[in-house]
Every structure is written in structure tokens, then in C-alpha cells.
A and B are shown apart, each in its own frame.
Chain A
Amino acid sequence: MLQRKLVTALAAAFSFGVAATALADINVGVTVSATGPAASLGIPEKNTFDLLPTTIGGEKVNWIVLDDGSDTTKAVQNAKKLIGENKVDVLLGSTITPASLAMIDTAVEGETPMISMAASARIVDPANPKTRWIFKTPQSDALMADAIAVSMKAAGVTTMGYIGFADAYGDGWLAEMKRSAQLAGIKVIAEEKYNRNDTSVTGQVLKLIAAKPDAVLIGAAGTPGATPQKELVARGYKGKIFQTHGVANPDFLRVVGKDGNGTLLPAGPMLVYEQLPDSNPVKKVAAGYITQYEKKFGTRSTFGGHAYDAYLLLNSAIPEALKKAKPGTKEFRAALRDALEKANVVATHGVYVMTPHDHNGLDNRARMMVRIDDGKWVLVK
């Protein structure tokens, strides 16, 4: 049972947290949303930390994993506890954008580098001087929105409708999509909102269909993305349906069933690594991680990949930092930050080329268009 392991992991993590402040060890503080609304993203991330090795560059690494329940306040509390009590050298988290944004101040005050596993580009906005300490692994919405716009344009779409979560995720995607659509000459002619837990989206879908867009983008994460999709199909919508990479998990396929056929979405390459050409360097890294993950936890999740990529970044940066200072010191944290900023790493979601102006470092290699075909992800070439 996956959840049972999670609980033991949690318990272990907590007891770890108390005991593990031995001096020379490298302490990595993690806060993920393993419960609450973002649990479907946070659980695979949490699972991933179960797979990670306990030494990097010859030094012992303690992974101190806490759950923030998808709650902003709790995430900040966790960050303060990890920095204050556990004296961590680097902070990983959180799963969702609002929590990650809120943690920035704590990380900066503690002069501790932080790697977020949330999507929004605002987390590493180079215009904000605080983000000097902040990095993130997932593709920014902007990168993914561009991919959708390109794909729409290729299919001859000129008007589109949008239905998304009535929260930061849905609003963020709408803003990015409007920008990308405009660049591609596509008009957004209908915007609708819904909630993850809505029992019905009939009203919104009827209004979308009445506007007669060539394509509809659903801005949702996880299985809730299936609700408008099923309603669109049931109401006889004939245009193309796009989803975001937020739905790239097996549960979405299970819930959406045959109504998902033909749907297009952008996703990180790890989702379809088997279909990549051998020449793609991501293929080998993704294969290694996914084989390990699927053996222990069942089907892959791209969100677990974000956590693994954070580990890969640390794996390349920590040996550099160790050359300059000892773990547990202010100097080590600064050296680690500097090393992260110079990282050049092949990972599961693409190739990270960090620069002082780009603390995400991903490019077009980090996104693929994927089509749903009878419950399978198929790479669109």
C-alpha cells in the first residue's frame, strides 16, 4: 500500500528531523503537499525522496521530509523549522506555487538556497532580487503555453475557449495562454472558471460551446481536468480539446476513459520516454528513474520527476560546494547557491542550463506534445 509507506516515511522523516543534526552531514529540508488539495502531486514527490541515495559526493545526506498539507502557512512554518531547528543546507519545495512564493522570504532571510517544485515563472522571476536564492525544476507555464499555441496554429485553430480552475493555477494558465495565443494570432473568445470539487460544469460548458471556439483548453491539474472534458464530449463539442501538463498522470486516464481520446497536451519528455529516440540524452536518465519508481510505487508521475530533477541538480552542485566549505555553514550554503546557478544537468524533464538570469534553465527540449490514444500517452512527432 502506497499510503502506508508514506506514513512510515513520514514517521521516519520526523524522527530523522530530531536526531539528524550531526555536524558534517548535509541536511536537505523538504516540504511537499502530501495531503490536501495538491496531494496527487505531492505524494509522488514524497515517494521519490524514498528512492534517493543517502550520500552525495562522499558525504552523508539526510533527507528531512515534511508535509505542508497544500497549505501556504504550514509550508512557511515548515521552512522556518527546517532552517531554524534542522539547520538545513538547502530547502526543497513546495509542491504548489502559492506555498513556494510564500517560502521565498524565509529562504532569503536564512540565506539558504531553495529549489521549488511548483510551476509558476514568478517563483524565479529574475526581476525580483530575492530570487537570487531561489531555483525551480518544473517547466514554466509560459513554456508549455507556447507549445500549445504552436500546436493549435498548426491545426488551423483561430479561436479558442478556456475553462480552468478558479484559483492561482487556472488564472496563471489563462494569463500565459492569452499571451501565447496572441503571439500565434489566436483569439481567446470564451473564459470560464470551475472548482476542483464541482459536481457539475454543465453551465460553463454550455456557454463555451455557444461561443463556438475552434479549440478548448482546460486549465486543470489531475483528475479534476476530466470533469469539463467529459461534459464537452457529452454535449457534443466537435472541436479540438487541449489539456495542460497538470493532468499527466495515470489517474486522469482512468477517470476520463474513452472521452479523452484525441486530447492534446504538452508534457515533460519523461512521460513518454520509451518513445523518444535513443539520441535524446533525457531518455537514459528518465528510464533510470522511472524503472526505479515504478518498481516500488506503481505507475509513473511527472511530478515525481520534478523532485528527482531537484535531486539531480543537488547531485551536481554539492560536490562543487564541498570544495569551498563544510556543510552546516553559511559559506557552504552560499557556495551551493553559486554552484546551482552554474548547473548544467541532463534530467528527466529536460536539460537544465542555469544562468544568473534563468533559475529554471529549461528550454524547448523540456516539452513534448502528447496525444491521448485509448488510455495511452502517444508522442506527437
Chain B
Amino acid sequence: MDLPIVALLAQDGITNGAVYALLALALVLVFAVTRVIWVPSGEFVAYGTLTLAGLQLGKASGIAGMLAAMAVVAGLMEIAKAVRQREMRGLARSLALWAGVPLAIAAVIHFVAPLQPPFLVQILLTLTAVTALGPLFYRIAYQPIAEASVLVLLIVSVALHFTLLGLGLWFFGAEGSRTPPFTSASFEWGAVTVSGQSLLVVLTSLALIFALALFFNRTLYGRALRATAVNRVGARLAGISPTFAGTLTFTLGALVCAFCGVLIGPITTVYYDSGFLISLKGFVGAIIGGLSSYPVAAAGALLVGLLESFSSFWASAFKEVIVFTLIIPVLLWRSLTTHHHEEEE
């Protein structure tokens, strides 16, 4: 193994690690605020890539229909809630938000897709559509049982994972897709070649991580999400509704996943069922961070990326074994060094 190979492997590992890191952050965020272990996050990544690939071919895929269907369900749930509570005042507003906005997004995608808009517009459409799925899923599947135990929420997550997998096969077909590269430039540093695509993925991930950090530390809404994660009762007493926090969290989480999907599209072929393994690697990173520390989770995810890259060179047959076995010593070490704290109620 010589320097150029090491450099290429490191570059490959860091590029993938950056995507895993984004996912790890999304997983930590969602778990901290809503206690949901977000198994279907990977499907959001795959939907991101495949929606963009569909738009490339001038197709709105199934995602427009899915948004519309979920908008109708969410709208009906809002009506049912208003009738149950005999409180009609906020209904118009919540209907506009839960049914109107997603229906509008679905309509835009449906009508704009065949026009083959410029690549940047396609990316924006993809991000909007997949991001809109996040809060809709929260509203329909998680919010009604938001106070349930972590285990129940996990089971719902697993069910959603399989639902999205099935829908993904239906919408996008069994075969994979790629999206065109953002850039074909490459840079030479002595013997080391860095591809512009990798650089772009890493820089975009860093920018997104930086933006998220700003959001959580500087804005009131960001701090409200952190407060909910730290102390749910305290947050409620300060007037921060868990429903609001959950909706915002799932919006952010879905946005990050859609972003990942757009980033990996040009690097790899994505299938309707690719998401799970990708999110599982982000999850290993998140576990290293104890599902609570953002920097450790990101570092863990980067480690997963590097480990994966180097083990695929040395022992490709055992690559997954090596990556997922990593989780055992980490869990062992965590359970020995950290105090077991029960959920505070």
C-alpha cells in the first residue's frame, strides 16, 4: 500500500463518513427530542436520490402522489381532532398547514417535472418534497403516540421502515439509479488526486453541520429543541409544545436525509432498499455518541467511513462484519463508563 492508495482510501472514507455523519446527527436529533429511534431515515435518503433521478428523466415518481395522500390523511386527522375537542378556531390554519402545503408541493412537482427544469431546480424540488414527508410522517404515525415508551416508538419505526421500503419498490422500481455528478473537476496535490465531487460532498456536509450548529445555539427555535431534549417537562412548562418540537425535528431530520440523498446520488447507485444500510452506518456513529453527543456522533460516523474504506481494501469479504463488530466494544465501553440513567418522567 503506497501513499496514493492510502490517500484515495482516506478520501473515499471521509466522503462516505461525511454523509454518515450527517445521518448520525439527524438520528441523534430525532432521538433526543422525540425519543424515536428513526429507523426509516435511510428510506428518506434513498427517496432523495431516487426522486432526483426520476426528475432527471422528467418523472415525478410516486412521491407527488404519496405527498398528496399523506396530506389528505393528515388533514382528516386534524378535522377529527378539532371535532373531538370541539375547538374549530384553529382548524382552518392547521388544515392549510397540514393538507394545503403538502398538496401544493405535490402539485408543483407533478406539473413541473415533465418540463425538465434545470438541475438546481430539480434539487430544490427534491429537497422540498422529501423534507415535507418528515413532518407528515410525524403527524400521522408518531404524534398520536408521542408519550408511548421508547420500545413502542421503535416498533412503529420498524413498521414505517418496511412500509417505506414497499412503497419505494412500487414508486421507483427494483433497479437502482444514479444522478449526474455535480462537477468532474479534480485537484492534484503532489501524488494525491482529490476529486471535486468528494470535496463538494465534504464541504457541503460541513456547511450543513455548521448551519445546524448555528441554528441550535443562536436561534430561539433551535434552543427550544435542545430544551425539549434536555427536559421535556421543563420545556412544556416554558410553553414549548412537544408536538411543535417533534414536527420541527422531523422537518429538520428529513431535510438532512434528503440532503444526504442528493449528495450520494452521483457517487453511488442507489436502490429503493439502499437506505437501510446507509442509515445503519450513521446509526453506529450515533451509538458511539450515545445517541446524545453531536460531536462524538459525527466523529464516530467519520470513523465508520474510514474503517469501511480501509477494510474494503484489506478484507473486502469481511467489510460489513468489521464495521458492525465495531459497535460491540463501543457499547461495552459505554455501558462500563457511563451511568445507566433511566428515562426521567
Contact = CB atoms under 8 A, between A and B. Distances in A.
Given A202-B8, A251-B176, A166 B273 contact: no
A202 to B, nearest CB: 4
A222 interface: yes
Contacts of A166: 316-317, 319-320
Q: Binding site of B, secondary structure by majority: helix, strand, loop or mixed?
A: helix
Contacts of B320: 166, 195
B166 interface: yes
B277 A197 contact: yes
Given A3-B169, A210-B5, A223-B176, A194 B271 contact: no
B224 interface: no
B267 interface: yes
A236 B175 CA distance: 26
Given A39-B169, A199-B264, A204 B312 contact: yes
Contacts of B171: 3
A202 B9 contact: yes
B268 A199 contact: yes
- Among B178, B276, B278, B314, chain A packs the most CB atoms within 10 A around the CB of B178
B289 to A, nearest CB: 21
A71 to B, nearest CB: 13
Nearest to B19: A199
B311 interface: yes
- Among A7, A42, A204, chain B packs the most CB atoms within 10 A around the CB of A204
Contacts of B316: 166, 192-194, 203-204, 207
Interface string A255-295: 10000000000000000000000000000000000000000
Interface in B246-274: 264, 267-269, 271, 273-274
Q: How large is the interface on B (under 10, 10 to 19, 20 to 34, 35 or more residues)?
A: 35 or more
Contacts of B276: 197
Contacts of A200: 12, 15-16, 267-268, 308-309, 312
Interface in A174-232: 192-204, 206-207, 210, 222-224, 226-227
B174 interface: yes
Nearest to A6: B170
A42 B8 CA distance: 37
Nearest to A42: B174
- Among A203, A206, A207, A227, chain B packs the most CB atoms within 10 A around the CB of A203
A112 interface: no
Contacts of B175: 40, 222-223, 249, 251-252, 254-255
A65 interface: no
B273 A206 contact: no
Contacts of A223: 175-177, 269, 271
Interface in B1-56: 5, 8-9, 12, 15-16, 19
B237 to A, nearest CB: 44
- Among B166, B169, B264, chain A packs the most CB atoms within 10 A around the CB of B169
A193 B311 CA distance: 11
Contact of A203 (B12, B264, B268): B12
Contacts of A207: 313, 316
Nearest to B197: A234
- Among A197, A222, A227, chain B packs the most CB atoms within 10 A around the CB of A197
Nearest to B195: A234
A210 to B, nearest CB: 7
Interface residues of A, number: 36
B311 to A, nearest CB: 7
Contacts of A251: 173, 175-176
A224 B19 CA distance: 20
A39 B174 contact: yes
A198 B273 CA distance: 11
A193 B268 contact: no
A194 B312 CA distance: 8
Nearest to B315: A193
B137 interface: no
A227 B269 contact: yes
B16 to A, nearest CB: 6
B221 interface: no
B310 interface: yes
Contacts of B271: 196-197, 223-224
Given A194-B312, A203-B310, A255 B8 contact: no
B336 to A, nearest CB: 32
B173 A203 contact: no
Given A35-B166, A203-B309, A227-B269, A43 B9 contact: no
- Among B308, B313, B314, chain A packs the most CB atoms within 10 A around the CB of B313
Given A197-B271, A227-B268, A251-B176, A203 B313 contact: yes
Q: List the 3 shortest-distance A-B pairs measured between CB atoms, nearest first.
A: A203-B312, A251-B175, A39-B174
30 contacts: A2-B173, A3-B169, A3-B170, A3-B173, A35-B169, A37-B273, A42-B174, A166-B320, A193-B319, A194-B312, A197-B271, A198-B312, A199-B267, A199-B278, A200-B15, A200-B16, A200-B309, A201-B312, A202-B8, A206-B5, A206-B8, A207-B313, A210-B5, A223-B269, A226-B176, A251-B173, A251-B175, A255-B176, A255-B177, A255-B269
Given A194-B319, A199-B16, 20 more contacts: A39-B174, A40-B174, A42-B174, A166-B319, A193-B319, A194-B312, A195-B319, A195-B320, A198-B312, A201-B312, A203-B313, A203-B314, A204-B316, A206-B8, A210-B5, A223-B271, A224-B176, A254-B175, A255-B176, A255-B178
Interface of A: 2-3, 7, 35, 37, 39-40, 42-43, 166, 192-204, 206-207, 210, 222-224, 226-227, 249, 251-252, 254-255
